[in-house]
Amino acid sequence: MTVWIMKPEIFIPIASVFLIYTARIIELRTKRDTIRGPVKENLTFRLFVLAGTVMVAGGLVEFLIRHSQLFWPTFVAGWLCAFFSFALRRRAIAALGKFWSLHVEIRDNHQFVRSGPFRFVRHPTYFSMILELLSGGFIFNAYWTMMAVTLLFIPALLMRLKLEESALIEKFGPTYKDYQQETPAIFPYKWPSTK
């Protein structure tokens, strides 16, 4: 008798989500050549990690309780979200270089970056996080879990945006305010100006 969880229609979605989550944890722990600065707060980072963990654990529970199986359209959509999430985050990390941080950290010699994905959105990493959360929800067909995670993630994201935007305005003043007017915060809904 085949073990139920080893059936491809069950195993493939579970293995996929755990592969994506494991790759993300490895990425989080990667040492980077960055300049350290004072960390403004730690709560939002912890809430982001919690949201990702709840998406994986809750999505798995929902997938198993509902006796869901591999559904190719949402499976492919989930993997596309994961791929674009990782690609976008890597480009953002490369554009920020030594100023990359998982926290709100403004350094004395901080540089204002508008290259790479920062041409299209002010916070590409947060857009990548949304794509990553969607990837697990789509692969597991875990729509109840996605709604629950939204209730945790959105307040944390709004708190982080408020802190980060304030810190950037304090550091870069009118230059950053102009950038705010020209460039969407998270969702790339318009083409960048050609200044």
Q: What is the 3-state secondary structure (H, E, C) of 119-142?
A: HCCCCHHHHHHHHHHHHHHHHHCC
How far, in Å, CA of 160 to CA of 141, rounded?
A: 28
How far, in Å, CA of 164 to CA of 123, rounded?
A: 10
How far, in Å, CA of 180 to CA of 62, rounded?
A: 39
Q: Mind listing the pLDDT tens digit for each residue in 130-145?
A: 999 999 999 999 999 9
Q: What is the residue extent of each domain of the chain?
A: 40-182
- Closest alpha carbon to 134 in 156, 150, 122, 157: 150
Q: Mind listing the pLDDT tens digit for each residue in 144-180?
A: 999 999 999 999 999 999 999 999 999 999 999 999 9
Q: Mind listing the pLDDT tens digit for each residue in 2-58?
A: 566 678 899 999 999 999 999 999 998 888 888 888 888 999 999 999 999 999 999
pLDDT computed for residue 96 by the predictor: 94
List the structure tokens of 139: 């692969």
Residue with tokens 């869901």: 68
pLDDT computed for residue 69 by the predictor: 87
**Domain with residues 40-182, CATH architecture:** Up-down Bundle (1.20)
